[in-house]
């Protein structure tokens, strides 16, 4: 009356047992290669870096209606960029904002100097380039 014990099978009917070191090594290398491939594909479509820096602190606005601001934009050649320039008042509050479209350059250079006039509601004493991002590639 001894019943025969059946070997345990996984969900796909594969017999579970000891797996050799070579098999684990092949599985590990295959997993690493697949992970590297997924990371490479995911990062290949990432936009290139865009940076902006003030060329110096702007002079305090001579009136409460505008603040001239000069800044440099570093971007890949042949890309159009949109930057948000903000004017800051004496109390460190936002007193003005301007969206500046930086056109694509075709000369291969990656840095563009921009001078804009930010409309303000009070006298501006400083400025910030709060955001720059690529809007088009040419």
This prediction has a pTM of 0.63
pLDDT tens, 78-123? 999 999 999 999 999 999 999 999 999 888 888 999 999 999 999 9
Q: Report pLDDT for 17.
A: 57
Cα gap 49→34, rounded to integer Å = 27
Distance from C-alpha of 55 to C-alpha of 72, rounded to nearest angstrom: 7
Nearest one of 77, 138, 72 to 110, comparing CA atoms: 77
* Beta bridge pairs of residue 89: 124
Residue 31 has pLDDT above 60, yes or no: yes
* pLDDT value at 28 more than 90: no
Percent of the chain with pLDDT over 70: 66
Residue 9 per-residue DSSP state? B
Would you state the pLDDT for residue 85? 96
**DSSP per position, 26-64:** HHHHHHHHHHHHHHHHHHHTPPPP-EEEESSPPPPPSST
């Amino acid at each position: 009356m001894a019943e025969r014990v059946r070997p345990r099978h996984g969900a796909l009917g594969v017999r579970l047992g000891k797996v050799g070191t070579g098999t684990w090594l092949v599985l590990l290398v295959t997993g690493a290669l697949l992970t590297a491939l997924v990371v490479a594909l995911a990062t290949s479509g990432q936009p290139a870096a865009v940076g902006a820096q003030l060329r110096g602190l702007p002079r305090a606005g001579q009136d409460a209606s505008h603040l001239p601001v000069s800044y440099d934009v570093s971007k890949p050649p042949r890309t159009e960029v949109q930057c948000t320039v903000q004017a800051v008042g004496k109390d460190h509050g936002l007193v003005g904002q301007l969206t500046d479209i930086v056109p694509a350059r075709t000369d291969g250079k990656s840095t563009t100097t921009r001078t804009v006039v930010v409309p303000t509601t009070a006298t501006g004493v400083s400025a910030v380039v709060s955001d720059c991002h690529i809007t088009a590639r040419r």
